[in-house]
Amino acid sequence: MIKSKLCDITGIKYPIIQAGMGPFPTTNLCIASANAGVLGILSSSGIASDANQPEIYGVFCRSGGADPEKDSKETVLRKIFQKVLDGTKESQGIFGVNVMVSAEMREPAELIIGTMLKVREEDPEMKKRFKVLITSAGDPLPWSDVIKKTDLVWMHVMPSVKAALRCKKAGVDVIIASGHEGGFHTSWEPVHSMVLLPAVIDAVADENTLVVGTGGFCDGKTLAAALVMGAAGAQMGTRFLATEESDFPPLWKQAVVDTPDRGTLVARGFVGPARWIKNPRSQEHAKNTLEKSPGVYLGIPDDYSTIDMSLIDYENESINAVYKGDKEKAMMAAGESAQRVTDMPKVHDLVQRIMKETEEILRAVPRLLD
């Protein structure tokens, strides 16, 4: 059986993190993942979608049994956290939450993290198993004073060696190196996992700082590669999206399964470049991005003060179309690994398959030294 330091510090059985893919809910997926022995992660940015994406906000709230019209945002979060705790009681699964900490998400981040800390102090069982905070899409350093006072395992998702060194300075426990082949939000500069992951490992990995790879990881082959390179495990988003228990709409999940070779592209997203499944709608979005937000392809960041907001309106309309089942206007995000996803299994079966393949590969590695 494979174990790594990621398992040791979190209490999970297998060195896999199921990604939190906000603003879309991952409540039921988180439960299934934690029950399967990997780290289940809740997305949380949907809590900030009430104004611009009310449909997504409603789906997010209802994933935890909350009422989007009546419940406060803190109550919504509490209900989601409690649902996962209850749903993983028998397995004693470990779970956490992903929180975007970019400047424009500061207020929601404070609410999410503050609520997390409160519910953990109120319930010993919550404190025992709701033990991982993953921050992303922003600078970790301003959060160091708050997080390092707790017993949380702190992870941060970032796309470069420079950002990894910033995480090291902040005291992050697990640095998640996010390669450009990942789905939805990607970095402005296209550095992929085969270059990024070993570079980050060389720069920051030691007894106190673990490194995990994400972006392109989807099976035993890719998990084995991460472990051999010196990573403590891998985070997988697209592969877990296309599972029976996933909260994502059937249209989206089936689109991942159907993605062919070279089946994704990069175009504008809510917070910068984003990777989408290639279809007529996303191809049109890419053309508009080239005209109205060329920095996506030049590695030059822009923001809502400089770009044509019709790009964001187009994205909002396209995402809402997915939840309405409108194939003509739907646009679905996914990583490059979508072309290697060919089925929609139960999460438990997927995890067992990944681990079996990983073990077989790693057992064969020493033969190369004969």
- Report d(CA 229, CA 222) in Å as an integer: 11
Domains and CATH numbers, the chain: 5-249+341-364 (3.20.20.70), 260-333 (no CATH)
In this prediction, residue 196 carries a pLDDT of 98
Our CA dihedral for 185, 189, 193, 197, rounded to 10 degrees, sits at: -110
In this prediction, residue 192 carries a pLDDT of 97
Q: What is the arrangement of strands in the sheet containing 40-42, beginning at the earlier edge strand?
A: 16-18, 234-236, 210-214, 174-178, 153-158, 130-136, 95-100, 40-42
Block means of pLDDT (10 residues each) for the chain, length 370 residues?
93 97 94 98 94 89 96 98 98 97 89 97 97 94 94 97 96 97 93 97 96 98 97 98 97 97 96 95 98 94 90 93 93 97 98 98 89
In this prediction, residue 62 carries a pLDDT of 96
State the amino acid at position 73 in one-letter form.
K
Q: CA triplet 76, 82, 86: central angle to 5 degrees?
A: 150
In this prediction, residue 117 carries a pLDDT of 97
In this prediction, residue 53 carries a pLDDT of 84
3-state secondary structure string, 317-333? HHHHHHHHCCCCCCCCE
Helix (H, G, I), strand (E, B) or coil at 52: coil
Q: CA triplet 239, 57, 137: central angle to 5 degrees?
A: 55
- Report d(CA 232, CA 6) in Å as an integer: 6
What is the DSSP-derived secondary structure letter of residue 3?
Answer: -
In this prediction, residue 241 carries a pLDDT of 98
